[in-house]
Amino acid sequence: MTWYREIAPIRQKMLINVIVMTMLSTLAAVGGSLGTVFGGLAIGLGLGLLAAILSLIIGTMFRAAVSDPYVATVVRMEALAAGDLTSPIEFTNYQDCVGRLTRAMFSFRDAAIKLDRAGEVKMVIDDLGANLADLSNCDLTGRITADYPDDFAVLKNNYNDALDKVRTTVQQVSESAIAIKTGSAEIAQASEDLARRTESNAASLEETSAALVQIDSRIKDSAAASVSTVARADQAMVTVGSGRTTADAAKQAMERVSGSAKGIDSVIEGLDKIAFQTRVLAMNAAVEAGRAGDAGRGFAVVADLVSALAMRAEEEAKRARDQLTVTQSEIFTAVAAVEKVDVALSTILDDVSEVNKLLAGMANDNQAQSMAISEITAAVATMDRSTQQNAAMVEETSAAARNLTQEVGTLANAAAQFKFERRVRNMPVASDRRSAGRAAPPSPAPAAIEPSAPPRLPVATVKSVRAGNGLAVVANNEWADF
């Protein structure tokens, strides 16, 4: 029976059924005839009934062995056509047509699974392609919302996570680019202002350096002149001291001349007395000569001459005394003048000494000022060089800030191409750092844009060909007569 049920082909089964049923029919007919002939009608009917019952039992067995596998296979095939890809397929161990059908159903189920899988893959590819198309259009707002099969759930989650991270990154880049653009614009403006102020300071320092060089040169000249003046003052002090010595010598010489004049006055007085006595003697001689008469006439002439000479000597002595008196008066006047000159020279010497001290102090101060001005000049020259270098660096910084502004603007424009929900950020307003009081307003932050997502094409969800795990219900009465 196992061979009949599982191995025998359908034609052999039908042939066996016909043979067995024919044999049973023949056996029933022969049994009924023999029973009637040999045992009567009752025995014939009993044998016929027994043969009919046996035929019914054997027919039922043949029916179950042949029809049940076919009916179950057809029902499972209809369920497979309805989308049931999970229910087990039976009778696969049969070697007859049922086994061939069930094994073919495995191929159909695998094909249906592949088709279902292909539909799922197509749905995933179409939906992912639509999202990637939106992403290629810089739209970062569209997330995958369709229900993906379990095998593609990781792809959906990874895409959404990556999109969220990219959106967050682009949003941060956009906001940072706007902030950097604002800051770089302020830096560029401040650098330009600083460059102008630095250039002005450099020019002022250059002029100051030139003025300090001139002041240093003049102070050095003044210091040299002060030193020369101190030397001249020293010479003047020596000269004044020599003048005082000369004045003292002149005073002493005049005092000696005054003393000599007094001696000369005594001599002149003596000569005056001698002349007077000589004139008296001449008068006496003339008297005596007059007494002598003619004998004394020549002596009288001599006496007259001597008297005249004595008178002349008295007159000259008087003139000499008068002249000497005038000379003494002049000498006294000169001595007084020399004393005044000595006092004046002493005062001048004291004043020149004070002036010399002041000039020496001025010379020292001028030298100290000259050294200080030299140091200041060197420091200003260093500051000038540093300011020039700073000006060059500020120019480079300004150029770099402008380039940064351009680059950040390019970055901001690139980031602005993406569509995402933009947050409103209050950019800090830079404090006014400009001495002129001119504030460079920062570039206003763009208003929050709520871009509407572009209309997305509906992705047709491919429905699974599965119709459930249950077998399709098929009316058994359709196979009642199989």
The CB density around residue 403, as the number of other CB atoms within 10 Å, is 12
- pLDDT at residue 445, as a whole number: 39
For residue 232, is pLDDT > 60?
Answer: yes
pLDDT band at 457 (very low <50, low <70, confident <90, very high): very low
So where are the chain's domains? 2-124+472-479, 181-416
Cα separation, 260 vs 349, in Å, equals 32
CATH number of 181-416: 1.10.287.950
pLDDT single digits (tens) 271-307: 777 877 777 777 777 777 777 777 666 767 777 777 7
Cα separation, 394 vs 386, in Å, equals 12
Question: In terms of Cα–Cα distance, which of 435, 437, 438, 439 is closest to 197?
Answer: 435
- pLDDT at residue 444, as a whole number: 40
pLDDT band at 466 (very low <50, low <70, confident <90, very high): very low
pLDDT single digits (tens) 138-156: 777 778 888 888 878 888 8
- pLDDT at residue 295, as a whole number: 67
* Range of lowest pLDDT (67-71, 107-111, 183-187, 243-247): 67-71
For residue 452, is pLDDT > 70?
Answer: no
Report DSSP letters for 40-88, one per residue.
Answer: -HHHHHHHHHHHHHHHHHHHHHHHHHHHHHHHHHHHHHHHHHHT--SS-
Mean pLDDT of all residues in 70-91:
72
pTM over 0.75: no
Mean pLDDT of all residues in 12-24:
64
